[in-house]
Chain A
Amino acid sequence: MKKYIDQGKNDTRSGFGAGLAELGRSNPNVVALCADLVGSLKMEKFIEENPERFFQIGIAEANMMGIAAGLTIGGKIPFTGTFANFSTGRVYDQIRQSIAYSGKNVKICASHAGVTLGEDGATHQILEDLGMMKMLPGMTVINPCDYNQTKAATIAIAEHEGPVYLRFGRPKVANFTPVDQKFEIGKALMLSEGTDVTIVATGHLVWEALVAAENLEKQGISAEVINIHTIKPFDGEAVLKSVKKTGCVVSAEEHNYLGGLGESVAGYLATTHPTPQEFVGTKDTFGESGTPEELMAKYGLDTKAIEKAVLKVLKRK
């Protein structure tokens, strides 16, 4: 049933950088903006090849969001780049008024999301961004799972008319989706079929879910793994179809369990097919300094945490 191959580790932010560079060559309307984090966002290639289409804003994220909104008025497709924390919480009002409410075609590209940012600590590790962005009317929210998918998503959102929030991260994580994949916004991907439990995961926790499914198989538990790369619009039908077969669900995300993917799953199922669910996510807490691996373990975001949640939800079927 495996439809994935381990291609070694890579960082999703580099997937963004590669996608942006490709857009620089293929779409003359694409412009990029950055708030003093060019290297962190891997934007160098785009800038080198298209210096006139790059806007260095300086450490002024609010201004960056407004400038991006204004650039759309001249027919441009702006991609803003900064950390996820400064791409959302710091500029929520600017995104709300000048981008979302105004219906502007801005792509908010957010790196270093979640606790896996690591040693910088809680001030930089946002765990609420998916929730904030998904609550904005008209905002599309995408959280790809690996390097290849982040690259594909970056390219795909240029073709989508309207504001998009694209989330990715710093550490190197497993790269396992096809190089030549088609990225379809809003369409969940079935990665591994099973009959006992549905695991819906997003971001790099999709890989953790696949590993968990393998481990569970050894214990005689058949897990179905679905990659929800698009948090909004949410592909509820894919989840519904799966839980009708399995009867229970675990959601897994590097985000506060409040407001993220898990709540989207619960909200959808509550009104269509009430289903026992367990949440893998941070438990309404801030992060702290540490290595990504240590933090994943401490905050219950790794393979072990997913397996534990599966065993728990199976008892509630």
Chain B
Amino acid sequence: MPKLQELQDLTVQVRRDILRMVHKVNSGHPGGSLGCTEYMVALYNDIMELKDGFDMDGEGEDLFFLSNGHISPVFYSVLARKGYFPVDELNTFRLINSRLQGHPTTHEGLPGVRIASGSLGQGMSVALGAAQAKKLNKDPKLVYTLHGDGELQEGQNWEAIMYAAGKKVDNLISTIDYNGQQIDGATEDVLPMGDLRKKFEAFGWDVVDIEEGNNLEAVIKGMKEAKSRTGKGKPVCVLLHTVMGHGVDFMMYTHAWHGKAPNDEQLENALSQNPVTLGDY
């Protein structure tokens, strides 16, 4: 296990990557990316069991599917810094001829990406297929997914949630980024989703809450708890309570930075709150 300080340093550096990527092209989604930074860093550097290199089938290793594809900046940064592709390729984010499309795709052959996402609500279904293939292949490794809370408004999720429990897909851990925000405002205002824990439980899932989703230690502890609950006949849901825009004071507690890039001055301010640790790309 890496030292906590190393992961903390990586977390700060990933935040810088996110901010610089979206600033450079004046587009992209910093809010959700910043909010999921601790989770993504912990997942790829402590929680998941990964092979060296990348192949599409991922047999013998844990798999991750990003369902809310718009938070590609955090995904790309974490993948690059894990060594899936050169870190300086982050410079090409959203530019023409890049492998780093606005929303992730397999189309351009970027190592680390196994499914296109962006049109919301499809990731859990894909993960279910991958998880069931693992069972057929007698591969004991796990499948992880990440979803936005607003994304659960897409009905396909509930088809998948019903199926996962009904078919006892217990090698799956689906995390909901529970930040209460979506493009048009607070989820409570756009379309309230009620008690998500009760909903998942009613559908037959085991649910773990991570109350401090932007506290690295708490995320690691919570994800280890979630992992310990796999293989017991139920899919596992993690309700990851985060703050959209976490780590940049003026981006927090609002949906305003869901899909907006900082200007030069705002970038300087944001970066000053996250000083260089491992080095910029």
Using a CB–CB cutoff of 8 Å, the interface residues on chain A facing chain B are 31, 52-53, 55, 57-58, 60, 62-76, 78, 93-94, 96-98, 101-104
Contacts and interface: CB of A to CB of B under 8 A. Distances in A.
Interface string B40-70: 0000000000000000111100010100000
Size band of the B side of the interface? Answer: 35 or more
B234 to A, nearest CB: 18
Nearest to A62: B156
B118 A97 contact: yes
B203 to A, nearest CB: 13
A101 B117 CA distance: 10
B105 interface: yes
Given A73-B58, A73-B63, A93-B119, A66 B106 contact: no
Contacts of B117: 97
Contact of B137 (A63, A64, A67, A74): A74
Nearest to B56: A73
Interface in B133-180: 133-134, 136-137, 139, 155-156, 159-160, 162-163, 166-167
B214 interface: no
B72 interface: no
A98 B126 contact: yes
20 contacts: A55-B167, A60-B160, A60-B162, A62-B125, A63-B156, A63-B160, A67-B126, A67-B128, A69-B115, A69-B129, A70-B115, A70-B125, A70-B127, A71-B130, A73-B130, A74-B130, A74-B133, A75-B137, A97-B122, A98-B125
B132 interface: yes
A25 B46 CA distance: 42
B58 A97 contact: no
Contacts of A63: 125, 128, 156, 159-160, 163
A24 B48 CA distance: 34
B71 interface: no
Given A53-B136, A70-B128, A101 B58 contact: no
B107 A102 contact: yes
A162 to B, nearest CB: 13
A66 B65 CA distance: 12
B163 A57 contact: yes
Contacts of A72: 129
Contacts of A94: 122, 125, 156
Contacts of B106: 101-103
A136 to B, nearest CB: 13
A53 B133 CA distance: 10
A93 B119 CA distance: 8
A260 to B, nearest CB: 26
B116 interface: yes
Interface string B201-229: 00000000000000000000000000000
Contacts of A96: 119
B22 interface: no
A78 B133 CA distance: 10
B12 to A, nearest CB: 32
Given A73-B58, A94-B156, A97-B122, A67 B132 contact: yes
B114 interface: yes
